[in-house]
A and B are shown apart, each in its own frame.
Chain A
Amino acid sequence: MNKIITLCFLLLTSLVLKAQEPEMADVFRKEGKIYVVIIVAGIVLAGIFAYLFFLDRKIDKIEKSNQKQK
C-alpha cells in the first residue's frame, strides 16, 4: 500500500513539474499571429535591402562617370 501511495505521489509531482515548465507564447503561435510578426519584420528588412541596393547602384553610376571624366 505504501508503495502505491509513493508511486502516485511521484506521478503527481511529475505532472506538477510539467505544468511549471517555463511559459512560452504557445497560444500566440497556435493562432498564427507569429506570421504577422515575420511579415512585418520581413518588410522592414526588404526596405533596408532595397535602400542599400539603390544606394549601391547610385554610387556605381557616380564612380563610372568619374572614371570617364578622367
Chain B
Amino acid sequence: MEIKKHWWKIVCMLLLFYTIMAGFLIEVPRMPILNETIRNLFFHVTMWFSMIVLLLISVINSIRYLSSQNQSHDITASEAVNTGVFFGILGLLTGSVWARYTWGAWWTNDAQLNGAAVTMLAYLAYIVLRNSIEEEQKKARISAVYNIFAFVMMLVFIGVLPRMTDSLHPGKGGNPGFNTYDMDSQLRMVFYPALIGFILLGIWIMQLKIRLKKIENSKQNEATHC
C-alpha cells in the first residue's frame, strides 16, 4: 500500500482517535437536562452529516451515470446509498437513545425526527427498487432518476421543513445559520474534526464496497463468457 494513495485514511484514523480523546476530556458547556450528554454531539450529529455527504456523492454519480451511461458511476451511486443508509440508521438509533434521556421518549413527534424517518424510507425504497429490476441498464437508469428525487426529498425533509415548524433540535425551528447552533468554541474544536473524521470513514467504507462490487461484477462477466 503506497502512502500517496492512502494518506486520507490515516487522517481519518487520527481525527477519530482525537475525537474520542478530546470528546470525552474537554470542558463542555454546563447545560441543564443535557448535562454530560452534550458530548453526543460528536457522535450523533456526525452520523447524519456523514450520511448527507455520502448521499450527495451518490446523487452526483447518478447524474453522471445519466449523462455518460458508464456503469461504474452506477455502482458508486448505489454503494454510496448503501453506506449512507447505514450511517442514517446509526443516526436514528443514537438519536433515539439520546432523546430517551433528555426529551423523555424514544421517539417524539418532532419535525426533524419524522423528516429523518421519511428520508430513510425514501432511500430504503431506492434499495428495494434497485433489487426489483433485473436488467442492468434499466436498473441503473431508473434508480438514477429515482435517486435524484430521493435526494431532493431528503433536502426538503431534513433541511427545510424542520425549520418551518417548531423543533426540539437546537438550531432548527426558525432560520438558523450554522453559527447559531448552541455551540461554543470548545465544542467546535472537537466537532469539526469529528465531522471530517466520520465523513472520511464513510467514504472509506463506501470505497471498499464499490471495489468489492466491481470484483463481483467482473467475476460474473467471466462466468457468462465462459
Q: Report which A residues bind B (CB closer than 8 A).
A: 21-25, 34, 37-38, 41-42, 45, 49, 52-53, 55-57, 59-60, 62-63, 66
Contacts and interface: CB of A to CB of B under 8 A. Distances in A.
Interface string B1-33: 100001001000100110011001100001111
Nearest to B25: A34
A59 B212 contact: yes
Contact of A38 (B20, B30, B31, B212): B20
Contacts of B204: 52, 56
Interface of B: 1, 6, 9, 13, 16-17, 20-21, 24-25, 30-36, 204-205, 208, 211-212, 215, 218
Contact of B32 (A22, A37, A41): A22
A57 B6 CA distance: 11
Contacts of A60: 1
Given A38-B25, A52-B208, A63 B36 contact: no
A27 to B, nearest CB: 12
A59 B20 contact: no
Contact of A63 (B1, B17, B21, B211): B211
Contacts of B1: 56-57, 60
B30 A63 contact: no
Contact of A45 (B9, B17, B218): B17
